[in-house]
Structure 1
Amino acid sequence: MTNKQFAFAVTGSLISILFFIIVNYLTTPGTIWFIYPTLALIQWPISIYCFSRGKVKEYSLVTSLLLILYLNWENQMHSPEHLWFLYPAFAIIWWPILMFAGHYARTLSMALIGSLGVIVSYGLLNALVSPQFPWAIFPAYAVLWWPLAIYFSSKKKWFNFSVWAAIMSAVFFITANTITTTDIWAIYPIFALTWWPLSMHYYRRAR
């Protein structure tokens, strides 16, 4: 990519943003909608610059910050009484974190640190922002698969993985059942899950 191509992308992006601002002001001044195409137009020169120079990590960082700023703006404009932008923000920031981690992102240590960070951050968010319902167990359950899968796949202990995954899932379903309703429904997915380690066990014996 030459400097002229990058300059064209910047110029085209700025002119287009200015055009949308003028149209927004002249047609619907009471509704600020130009921000939506602006977010996409800003990505044009940023993506051209970063990918042409192999700066994928930097691209993930800049794009993540832009997304979080955009979500914060949406939050403040439409529902400032509830800071909902923090929910996706905690997930978005893991994109540049994993990109900058490089090969370390595939290690068990990174999986443990990452899963613990997600559980703690969403746990605090649950307790401070929306304590009415303990929804943090859902992202916690999802993220615990990360270190579990990395550990047992590195050891090639597939049967042990199925056992621990089934136990973890059973605990999750029992907890979700307890906090959501008095009806007992957790037994159904738990019964289905028991077939996973059982099938792994008999397959291993058959071999």
Structure 2
Amino acid sequence: MRKHRVAFAASGSIMSIFFLFLVNYLTTPGEIWFVHPAFALLQWPISLHFAANGRLKAYSAVTTVILLLYLAYENIVSTPDYPWILYAGFAVVWWPIIMYAGRFAGTLAMALVGSFCIIVYYGMLNLLLAPHFPWIIFPAYAVLWWPMSIYFSRSRQWFTFALCASLLTSAMFIAVNAVTSPNDIWAIYPVFAVIWWPLSMYYFVKKPTV
């Protein structure tokens, strides 16, 4: 029964893609648009095949390859002068990496290695492709929450977590302030709001009542 469903989905997808190709060729041959629905149609038999067998890891790998090919095609056709596939592609690859990592994906070691790789990779892209503005500040700030959250949640050091998170957030605001508008000191306002998090935890949770 499962094989019949997959065969039906595969034949239906192939027929639909061929039909869209003919319509594209006969109506607007100068603009190739059938690729977009074809990418979505391919997910029908692929998802049925791997889901029916419970092979979710293989499904993530195959889908990632197809998605990378689709993004590469879009990059070459739409904006060949700028390789934005390098930004999106690295993020997409993490889906099968996390899937194949299994139990290791939830460990602190995985979080540290993953965060380091992401920061280094996008930092190199920032340096090579857009050196005029250090936008690496934002993904680095976001990805550092990954190992920090795992470590403090397991050790249950909530006050220390609030303190480190506040320091990280304050550092991000100060860095953005220094880069974007060094003559206008505005970072003090969000930093003042952020420090209330560890202060409130200390006085209402950590500090014993007299």
Shift of 1:184: 1.6
The C-alpha deviation readout for 1:37-64, integer Å capped at 9, x for no partner, is: 0000010000001111111111111111
Paired letter, 2:37 = P
The C-alpha deviation readout for 1:121-161, integer Å capped at 9, x for no partner, is: 10111111222211111111100000000000010000000
Asked if the contact 2:2–2:52 (Cα under 8 Å) also holds between the matched residues in 1, the reply is no
- Counterpart mapping for 1:1-207 below 5 A: 1-182=1-182, 183-204=184-205, 205=207
Query: Which of 183-192 and 111-120 deviates more?
Result: 183-192
The C-alpha deviation readout for 1:137-195, integer Å capped at 9, x for no partner, is: 11111000000000000100000000001011111111111111232221111111001
> Identity across aligned pairs (percent)?
54
CA root-mean-square deviation:
1.1
Q: Secondary structure at the match of 2:50?
A: helix
Q: Name segments (4+ residues, structure 1) moved above 2 Å.
A: none
Q: Structure 2: how far apart are the matches of 1:98 and 1:2?
A: 28
Q: Structure 1: how far apart are the matches of 2:48 and 2:133?
A: 44
Unaligned runs of 5+ in 1: none
Shift of 1:206: 5.4
- Using the size of structure 2 for normalisation, the TM-score is 0.95
Unaligned runs of 5+ in 2: none
Paired letter, 1:26 = L
Q: Structure 1: how far apart are the matches of 2:150 and 2:165?
A: 12
